[in-house]
């Protein structure tokens, strides 16, 4: 559920502003809303230091810190800013070396066909009126050159000769002259080798700097904490000798805030948020519902304060969608084993508890669906073993498409039913009842248009009832004509969308079927290589690549399709725009 919030205003003397913010931070339950844009030299300096620390941490995160242990005891010493700047300078030098080495390698490849020569000698000969020039000349034109010019062909490519022409006079030739490089080929190769050695040394030094990563991270955390403090102080409003700070606090923390106000002698004003207030969203759900939080964090979405918290429905249907889209008990077991292994490695990190809890649930859903459809690394090979699906009907194409349409109509009906309950006792709740009728009409229409099933007689009554309720009760008011006009506009804009939304759930069947097809093709290719040693080896390789591809792409399809059906289709029917922002109180 979305926790109700109260708007709070804390007033103190201006001279006590910093101390008040520090005490409020210790209380740790007020989401601060700045009365004015927080600006100041301290804030700019802190932001610059945070950016400096972040850049150094990013660089160290990309390096292999295997050599950093030797300097671990020195990690607490010295100025961290100098250390961070040194790390950034090393990284810049490495980037410059890599860029120059790439350009030099291309230059070497370009001049290798000409062989190794010293450009300085060419310049020395030119001062003595002996001109050595490089040209690209068609082979058929070589015989037409002046007799006083010595021509030496170096290489020929597609009828074009790379030539060296030596003469006493610098004659004009109607061919492309190639200007020699500044350095000889051997000098360029030597420089490339030296740069490679230098780059290796820089990488080694960067790896050694990894010992300072934890120190810089700790400094960055302290700076971020101080930045929030300074922003809260500089963002306070001021009126004469008084300063005030505004924000939002959960209703269950108000009693504690009142006690803190008495203790610290604050003036405290508590009110309900107004319709124009930007109120943060705090989600507080039972442990089984909190499993869906990692998905919200990954997507960066938060429902608005005045919207619905669809976390329970999101979790249930996201799990169902995962099972259908993966659709293979073998893959589910792989995900379960990987989850258990990663969980064991991170068992001391309590912050990842929700992530692993969700992964266990999703893996089990894939296993359950695979058992019901008889799919274990593909279906075909199981038929020869006598293993049958627990629910064979789920492998029927028509039945599975019907099930997807049903799942879509049911899922979207939950959204409108939820909205209708919240609108009661307003008559506008009947409009959502009408949309539910329209959704089930769309279900029957999808079966008729796509699967060829007859359209039931009740479908017409459903459609009439649904459209009528939407027209009459979308904006119920005394002026019936205005209400009908608004209702007609809503029907005209949304009627077709309801049909397409229900049909869009067939993507679950299509993507799941594609995964099974890849698995079966992989098994057929692997089995077709025979039972000899070579066939077994190459068959295992093909099976590993094919099924590995499915295992990697499966979760990606869930993120694309399973998330979409919840975040777009369902949320649009539940009138959720995900326009909220998370409740982040000022705290230690």
- At 481, is the pLDDT very low, low, confident or very high (cuts 50, 70, 90)? low
Percentage of residues of the chain with pLDDT beyond 70 = 95
Q: What span, in angstroms and rounded, lies between the C-alpha atoms of 403 and 408?
A: 9
User: What's the confidence (pLDDT) of residue 79?
Assistant: 86
User: What's the confidence (pLDDT) of residue 418?
Assistant: 93
pTM for the predicted model, two decimal places: 0.79
Task: Write out the two tokens for 379.
Answer: 């279906």
Return the residue matching tokens 């005490």.
23
Q: What span, in angstroms and rounded, lies between the C-alpha atoms of 30 and 10?
A: 10
Tell me which of 64-73, 248-257, 366-375, 447-456 is least confident. Answer: 64-73
Q: Where are the domains of the chain?
A: 118-179
> Please, how many CA atoms are within 13 Å of residue 260, restricted to the half-sphere of its CB?
21
> Model confidence over 259-300: pLDDT tens digits?
999 999 999 999 999 999 999 999 999 999 999 999 999 999
At residue 425, the 3 state secondary structure works out as coil
Expressed in percent and rounded to 5, the helix, strand and coil fractions of the chain are 65, 10, 25
**513: pLDDT strictly greater than 70:** yes
For the chain, give the number of residues: 588
- At 64, is the pLDDT very low, low, confident or very high (cuts 50, 70, 90)? low
> Please, how many CA atoms are within 13 Å of residue 248, restricted to the half-sphere of its CB?
20
Q: Classify strands 131-138 and 160-167 as parallel, antiparallel or unpaired.
A: antiparallel
End-to-end CA distance of the chain: 25
Distances (CA, A) of 390 to 64, 287, 397, 512: 49, 31, 16, 17
User: What's the confidence (pLDDT) of residue 484?
Assistant: 74
Mean model confidence pLDDT for the chain:
89
* Non-local CB neighbours of 85 within 8 Å, separated by 6+ positions: 52
Answer whether the bond into residue 544 is a cis peptide, omega within 30°: no
Task: Give, as one character, the DSSP assignment of residue 156.
Answer: E
At residue 167, the 3 state secondary structure works out as strand
User: What's the confidence (pLDDT) of residue 177?
Assistant: 87
The backbone torsions φ and ψ at residue 217, rounded to the nearest 5 degrees and listed phi first, read: -60, -40
**67: pLDDT strictly greater than 80:** no
Q: Which of 207, 209, 204 is nearest to 75 (CA)?
A: 209
Number of H helices, E strands in the chain: 20, 9
Q: What span, in angstroms and rounded, lies between the C-alpha atoms of 169 and 166?
A: 9
**529: pLDDT strictly greater than 90:** no
Tell me which of 257-261, 294-298, 367-371, 468-472 is least confident. Answer: 468-472
H or E segment to which residue 152 belongs = strand 150-157
State the greatest distance between any 2 C-alpha atoms of the chain, in Å, as a whole number. Answer: 108
Mean pLDDT of 184-213: 93
């Amino acid at each position: 559920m979305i926790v109700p919030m109260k708007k709070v205003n804390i007033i103190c003397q201006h001279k006590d502003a910093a101390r008040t913010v520090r005490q409020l931070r210790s209380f740790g339950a007020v989401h601060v809303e700045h009365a004015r844009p927080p600006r100041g030299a301290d804030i700019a300096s802190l932001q610059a230091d945070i950016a400096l620390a972040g850049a150094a941490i990013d660089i160290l995160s990309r390096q292999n810190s295997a050599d950093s242990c030797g300097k671990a005891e020195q990690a607490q010493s010295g100025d961290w800013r100098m250390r961070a700047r040194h790390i950034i300078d090393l990284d810049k030098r490495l980037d410059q070396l890599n860029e120059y080495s790439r350009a030099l390698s291309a230059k070497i490849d370009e001049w290798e066909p000409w062989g190794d020569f010293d450009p300085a000698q060419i310049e020395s000969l030119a001062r003595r009126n002996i001109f050595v020039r490089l040209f690209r000349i068609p082979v058929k034109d070589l015989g037409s050159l002046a007799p006083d010019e010595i021509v030496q062909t170096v290489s020929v490519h597609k009828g074009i000769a790379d030539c060296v022409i030596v003469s006493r006079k610098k004659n004009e030739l109607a061919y492309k002259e190639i200007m020699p490089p500044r350095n000889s080929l051997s000098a360029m190769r030597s420089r490339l080798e030296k740069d490679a050695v230098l780059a290796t040394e820089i990488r080694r030094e960067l790896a050694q700097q990894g010992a300072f990563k934890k120190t810089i991270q700790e400094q960055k955390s302290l700076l971020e904490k101080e930045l929030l403090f300074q922003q809260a102080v500089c963002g306070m409003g001021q009126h004469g000798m008084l300063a005030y700070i505004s924000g939002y606090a959960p209703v269950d923390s108000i009693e504690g805030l009142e006690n803190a106000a008495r203790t610290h002698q604050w003036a405290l004003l508590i009110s309900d948020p107004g319709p124009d207030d930007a109120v943060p969203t705090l989600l507080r759900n039972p442990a089984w519902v909190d499993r869906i939080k990692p998905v919200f964090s990954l997507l960066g979405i938060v429902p608005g304060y005045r919207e619905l918290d669809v976390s329970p429905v999101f979790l249930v249907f996201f799990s169902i969608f995962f099972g259908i889209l993966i659709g293979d008990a073998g893959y589910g077991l792989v995900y379960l084993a990987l989850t258990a292994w990663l969980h064991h490695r991170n068992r001391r990190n309590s912050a990842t508890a929700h992530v692993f809890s969700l992964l266990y649930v999703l893996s089990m859903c894939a296993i359950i669906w695979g058992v019901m459809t008889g799919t274990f690394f593909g279906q075909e090979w199981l038929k020869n073993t006598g293993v049958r699906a627990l629910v064979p009907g789920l492998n029927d194409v028509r039945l599975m498409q019907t099930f997807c349409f049903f799942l879509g109509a049911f899922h979207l009906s939950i959204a409108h039913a939820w909205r209708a309950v919240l609108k009661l006792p307003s008559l506008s709740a009947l409009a959502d009842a009408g949309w539910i009728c329209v959704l089930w009409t769309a279900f029957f229409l999808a079966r008729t248009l796509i699967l060829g099933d007859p359209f039931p007689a009740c479908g017409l009554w459903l459609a009439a009832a649904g459209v009528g309720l939407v027209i009459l009760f979308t904006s119920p008011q005394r002026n019936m004509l205005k209400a009908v006009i608004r209702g007609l506009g809503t029907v005209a804009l949304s009627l077709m969308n309801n049909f397409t939304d229900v049909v869009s759930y067939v993507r679950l069947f299509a993507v799941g079927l594609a995964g099974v097809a890849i698995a079966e093709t992989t098994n057929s290719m692997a089995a077709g290589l025979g039972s000899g040693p070579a066939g077994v080896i190459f068959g295992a390789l093909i099976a590993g690549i094919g099924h590995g591809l499915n295992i990697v792409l499966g979760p990606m399809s869930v993120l694309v399709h399973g998330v979409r059906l919840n975040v777009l289709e369902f949320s649009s029917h539940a009138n959720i725009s995900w326009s909220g922002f998370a409740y982040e109180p000022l705290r230690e």
